[in-house]
Chains A and B, each alone.
Chain A
Amino acid sequence: MSTEGLWVDGNAIAGLLRELFGAELTATERGCQTCGAVNCLGAHRVYRGAGTVVRCPVCGDIALRITSLPDRHVVQLTGSWSLDMPRT
């Protein structure tokens, strides 16, 4: 098996993103600090291992790292984020 198939789409962590940010985020756009591409989080690539790593679908640069511990999540954001979130 190649490693090509080991990632999934940002859609897959919609539930986790909602838990972290309190809103639906997969349709939210993010600009990459390295290549400039702007893509919805749902179209980013998600790699799951000991933690969750979200990468730019164009250049592969890291956008978000999430380490989920028993009592909390540790979140590291990189690049430019433009979040369009519903008012509640």
Chain B
Amino acid sequence: MWRTVTVREIVPETAHARTILLDVPGWPGHVAGQHVDVRLTAEDGYQAERSYSIASAPETAALSLTVELFDDGEVSPYLVEELQVGDEFEVRGPVGGYFIWRVQDGGPLFLLAGGSGLVPLMAMLRHHAAQKSTVPARLLVSSRRLDDVLYRDELADLDGHDAVDVSLTLTREQPPGWTGFGRRVDAEMLTAVGPGPSEQPQIFVCGPTAFVEFVADRLVELGHAPDAIRAERFGPTGE
């Protein structure tokens, strides 16, 4: 069940997050939106486990995880601050059959990310791009400040694609000349950015629990079907 993986490459993403590319012998492949469980074992045998969303598209050879530092975490400080190329740890997965999307599942897609909740949604958009999908996809990312937004250059490239629209809202601090949103996600923003209920979008919301709760409630109030909204909450930390 548990496989030993080797760190192939580490890519800094923001001041508090980095992407870890892994060599995984015998990796069975994954579906965008799935995650892996990571297990670290200390010299004294103590083990700590945490789940991380897969950032890479199924079409990409190396498996990549993007990990954001949570100061009170048991696993993320090691992965973000200590881990080096060539190091090994254990993973289990891929797991999850609920918060997933394949091109054949269609759309339109409405993706909503709070902070590093962007990671599994990015896997979906990378899969979308790799398959040259024409399914309309709208992504709204909420971050505190521009420097905290993961994959910024890639998001700008995706935004240029016909089928994909990317919107950012910066809740704490906006750079001079900022033309995006500058407040927490609200009903007005969801209406401005997303497909309406009549388009019957498939909706994926990922982020801190409070973010997901708030956004999912607003979406239902706007008339979106509760069972069209799939959510992945990662707990109290973050935004």
**Residues of A near any B CB (own CB < 8 A):** 1, 4-12, 14-16, 18-19, 24-27, 40-43
Contact = CB atoms under 8 A, between A and B. Distances in A.
A22 B210 CA distance: 32
Interface of B: 1, 34-37, 51, 92-93, 95-99, 208-210, 213, 230-236
B93 A7 contact: no
Given A24-B95, A24-B97, A15 B234 contact: no
B98 A10 contact: yes
Given A9-B231, A14-B35, A19-B1, A4 B98 contact: no
Determine the main DSSP class of A at the interface with B: helix
A72 B51 CA distance: 20
B235 A5 contact: yes
Contacts of A43: 98, 230-231
9 contacts: A8-B209, A8-B235, A11-B35, A12-B232, A12-B234, A14-B96, A14-B97, A24-B97, A26-B96
Chain A to chain B: the 6 pairs with minimum beta-carbon distance, closest first: A42-B98, A5-B236, A14-B95, A15-B37, A27-B97, A26-B98
Given A5-B209, A6-B209, A18-B95, A11 B235 contact: no
